[in-house]
Structure 1
Amino acid sequence: METRIRTATPQDAPAIQEIYAPFVSDAVTSFEYEVPSVSEMETRIVSTLVTHPFLVYVNDQGRVVGYAYATQHKGREGYKWVAESSIYLAPEARGSGVGSELYAKLMDILLRQGFYKVVAGISGSNPVSDSFHRKFGFVLVETWPNFGYKFDSWINVSWYCKELRSTETTSRVNPPIPPIPYSEWRKDETQK
């Protein structure tokens, strides 16, 4: 089957919202309490794509069944080489390989943009997500106990990290080159 991964557009917001909604309303996967509106999802897609990838997987029927994206881990300048990743799948796409294809593509793009590390926060007890991230070379760094509150309970958050490239060759005389913003990287890729 042909790979059906592409960059998200604002027109994908309704499908993305539909996939994301149960992770907000029925699970502790997200610490949001209210499902974002379609308009808010459009804004998130557009703002993410300036600097980081936001990918969707489209099935044979032309329907978005999964998405993965990255953002800057924290807003401080010194964190710009670290991306934070997220992935969400529709129920029918889970266990089908869609997630693996999306995440592999996301990691490849982040590496090619010049990121050094990717982190992922996994909330609650989520052995499927734990295993999935380990499969991609993420290592459990730390678990923050009772770090988020949802559904009348305190929830642990486990932080995983994947090294995309070594930091050993960087120094004061050889500082790391900042990652290429996704909007610029994408233009370069389409012109090749």
Structure 2
Amino acid sequence: MTEIIRAATVADLAAVAAVYAAYVTDSVATFEENVPSPDDWRARHADLAARGLPFLVADDGGRIAGYAYATPWRPKPAYRHTAEDTIYLDPAYTGRGIGSRLLAALLDACATAGVRQVIAVIADTGSDASAALHRRHGFTDAGRLTAVGFKHGRWIDTLLMQRTLPPNPAL
């Protein structure tokens, strides 16, 4: 385990984009159908930083092994303490515990940022890996949305999972 979990920088975004691009074009793990541009990634990074939400990378000696970030769950003000998590790994780095370390660090950073509820929206791809990862970190099933996505010629369900974080007494 040589990977270091740290805050993402603008310099990391090209590697983050490369990790994500394969998921967009070749899988149903994301419902995004067009690969985000470098400008899209810079805007996302800047927006999360401005909101005080975490964007982390797993850095393996300068190679980005994966990333995780939290976005606002919904735009209405009453949801301001609820976030959705996102985690993607370079396929060459799966099965090494990096996703678990990224998720643990993300949850800690979310708690520090004042997030109380973290929602995971997991595409039903036929693999339970993401749901199992989230369950190991205290997420529980919150529901299923049936046939809400259509990508690569098929309808896809999403599993909703939720975890309550401890309150941040500094807020």
Relative to the length of structure 1, the TM-score reads: 0.82
| Greater C-alpha Rg | 1
Within the alignment, does 1:77 sit opposite 2:77 as a pair?
yes
Q: Secondary structure at the match of 2:71?
A: strand
CA RMSD of aligned residues (A): 1.9
User: Structure 2 matches for 1:93-112, cutoff 5 A?
Assistant: 93-112=93-112
Q: Secondary structure at the match of 1:16?
A: helix
Offset at residue 8 of structure 1 (A): 0.9
Partner of 1:57: 58
**Paired residue total:** 169
Offset at residue 154 of structure 1 (A): 1.3
Task: Give the Cα separation in 2 of the matches to 1:2 and 1:16.
Answer: 18
Offset at residue 14 of structure 1 (A): 0.9
Letter in 2 for 1:8: A
Residue ranges of structure 1 left out of the alignment (5+ in a row) = 167-175, 181-192
Partner of 1:154: 155
Offset at residue 2 of structure 1 (A): 5.9
Overall identity of the aligned pairs, in %: 35
Partner of 2:127: 126
Q: What do the CA deviations read for 1:117-171 (whole angstroms, capped 9, x no partner)?
A: 10010012330111111001110110010011111221101100001137xxxxx
User: Structure 2 matches for 1:1-192, cutoff 5 A?
Assistant: 4-51=4-51, 52-59=53-60, 61-124=61-124, 125-165=126-166
Task: Give the Cα separation in 2 of the matches to 1:154 and 1:39.
Answer: 30
Task: Give the Cα separation in 2 of the matches to 1:49 and 1:88.
Answer: 19
Higher strand share: 2
Offset at residue 3 of structure 1 (A): 5.8
The 3 A distance-change label for structure 1 pair 2 and 127 is closer
Task: Give the Cα separation in 1 of the matches to 2:21 and 2:2.
Answer: 28
Letter in 2 for 1:98: I
Task: Give the Cα separation in 1 of the matches to 2:158 and 2:127.
Answer: 10
Relative to the length of structure 2, the TM-score reads: 0.92
Offset at residue 39 of structure 1 (A): 2.1
